[in-house]
Amino acid sequence: MSSKQNQWIVGINAVASAVEHDADNVREVLVEAGAKNPRLASIEEEARRRGIDVRRVTQQALDGVAGGLRHQGAVARYAAAKTHDEDDLAGLIEAAEGRALLLVLDGVQDPHNLGACLRSAAAAGVTAVVIPKDKAVQVNATVRKTSAGAADSIAVVRVTNLSRTLRELQKLGVWIYGLAGDAGASLYGIDLRGNVALVLGGEGEGLRRLTREHCDQLVALPMPGAAEAGVESLNVSVAAGVCLFEAVRQRL
C-alpha cells in the first residue's frame, strides 16, 4: 500500500465511492448542513452505517477544504490513495486467467487526464493501471474527483522503474503494445484478446525512448483527418479510451 498521509476526496460520486468501496481508509465525511440533495443524505446514512464519523458543516467550511474544486456538498478525509505495489502485479495477472488487460501510463502529468484514464479503465474492466512513482502525477484529490470514483474500484500499481516492470510483465506472459504516432502498424490490426498491456506516453513527448524499446510492438491509431485539421495526436485520456475499448470489442 502507498504512504498514509491524509488527503481530501471531493464531490458526491468520489465520496460515495470511497465510502462504499474503501470504508476502512475513510476517516470522516463532511456534508453540507441543510442541503436538500437526497444523495447527500444517502452518503451520510451509508457512512454512519459503516462506522465512519460524519459532520454537518457550512458551505464555507467545505469550500475551504475543497480548495477550489466543486464539492457538491460532500468531502471526505481519506487516509491514503488505495494503490498497489509492483509486487502485486503477478497475482493480479494470474487471477485474470489469460485475459489480463493492463493500461500503462508513461509519465502523465495532468491530474484530469489521469482521472479520465482511470474512469475509462474501470469501465473497460482493466486488470490494473500501472503508473511510475516519479515524474508523473499520483492519485490525488483532483484525480479522484475526475475519475468519478474509479480510483477506488480498480488496482492502480505504482512502480519505481517502468522499463524493469515491462520486462517483468513480459516474463509473466503479457504482450506489450506501445502507442506511437509514427508506428507502421495499426491498433485495429492487432489481436488484443490475451494477456495484453497497452502503453501510452505523457502529454508532451509521448513514450520515452526506453519505454518504446521495451514494447513488443509499436502501434498507431489511424487518424485520417489529422493532417487537414492540424492535429498531431489525441489527448492521452481519449487515446486510452479508444485503445481499451478496441480490446473490449475484440474480447466480447
Q: Which residues line the annotated binding site for S-adenosyl-L-methionine?
A: 201, 221, 234
List Cβ neighbours of 153 (8 Å cut-off, separation of 6 or more).
17, 21, 122
List Cβ neighbours of 92 (8 Å cut-off, separation of 6 or more).
84, 100, 127, 128, 155, 157
Annotated binding site: 201, 221, 234
With CA atoms as reference, report the closest residue to 173 among 89, 70, 51, 48: 89
In the 8-state DSSP scheme, what is residue 54?
Answer: E
With CA atoms as reference, report the closest residue to 216 among 172, 165, 166, 159: 166
Amino acid at 44: E
Cell reading at 4: 498514509
Neighbours of 154 (CB within 10 A): 23
In the block, cell 489527448 appears at 235
Neighbours of 12 (CB within 10 A): 22
Q: Rounded to the nearest 5°, which phi and psi values hold at 30?
A: -110, 130
In the block, cell 507502421 appears at 184
Q: Which residues pair with 130 in a beta bridge?
A: 104, 157
